[in-house]
Amino acid sequence: MAGKKIRVLIAKPGLDGHDRGAKVICRALRDAGMEVIYTGLRRTPEEIVNASIQEDVDVIGLSILSGAHNVLFPKIMSLLKEKGADDIIVIAGGVIPEKDIPRMKKLGIAEIFLPGSSTQDIVRWIEENIPKNLPK
């Protein structure tokens, strides 16, 4: 099936500098044929949302290990809504306590990939959950 490549933005919100996981995911998604934009470290919610809109991405992947997700994720989700970009699928990973997951999902985060997740599972999830053949 010929089609546009899936575009994914991998973001590091907040002060957290642990980028091993984010970089591995970037490579895995690229190897799976997706177009990947990596924001680099210490991005604000505004920067992440603006970049996602500018780059016209299908998916945003948020990587955070610092515990600041409870403050940063709601900001990101509300900004996306404000800017009419809440059709972008948002997934997250890193160190996110299980008790916070229901709240994150209620905000609209589609899936959370906890430590030990395989890159293949993430690739598969994205491929299966992106609405196909949408005119852009």
Partner 1 sequence: MKRNESFPSDLKKSYEYWRKRKHAKALKESCPEIKDFTTISGKKIKELYTPLDLDGFDHLRELGLPGEYPYTRGIHPTMYRDRLWTMRQFSGFGTAEDTNKRYKYLLSQGQTGLSVAFHLPTLMGIDSDHPLAQGEIGKCGVAVDSLADMEILFDGIPLDKITTSMTINPPAAVLWAMYIAVAEKQGVSPKVISGTIQNDILKEYIAQKTFVFPPRHSMKLIVDTFEYGAKEVPRWNTISISGYHIREAGSTAVQELAFTLRDGIEYVEWALERGLRIDEFAPRLSFFFNAHNDFFEEIAKFRAARKIWAQVMKERFGAKKPRSWWLRFHTQTSGVSLMAQQPYNNVMRVTIQALAAVLGGTQSLHTNSLDETYALPSERAATIALRTQQIIAYESGVANCIDPLGGSYFLEKLTKEMEEEAKEYIRKIDDMAGMVKAIELGFPQREIADSAYWYQKAVEKKEKIVVGLNAFAMEHEPIPILQIDESVARQQLAQLRKVKKTRNNTQVKKKLLDLKRAAADEKNVMPFILNCVKGYATLGEIMDSLKEVYGEYQEPIAY
- Contacts with partner 1, 15-54, as mask; x by CB under 8 A: xxxxxx-xxx-xxx-------x-xxxxx-x----------
Residues in the chain: 136
Q: How many CA atoms lie within 13 A of 77 on its CB side?
A: 18
- Residue pair 118/88 in contact (Cβ under 8 Å)? The answer is no
- The span from the CA of 103 to the CA of 26, in Å, is 26
DSSP state of 5: P
In the complex with partner 1, the residue whose CB is nearer, 16 or 111, is 16
Region of 13-21, 54-62, 77-85, 104-112 interacting with partner 1 (CB under 8 A): 13-21
In the complex with partner 1, the residue whose CB is nearer, 33 or 115, is 115
Tell me which residues touch partner 1 (CB under 8 A): 14-20, 22-24, 26-28, 36, 38-42, 44, 66-72, 95, 97-98, 114-116, 118-120
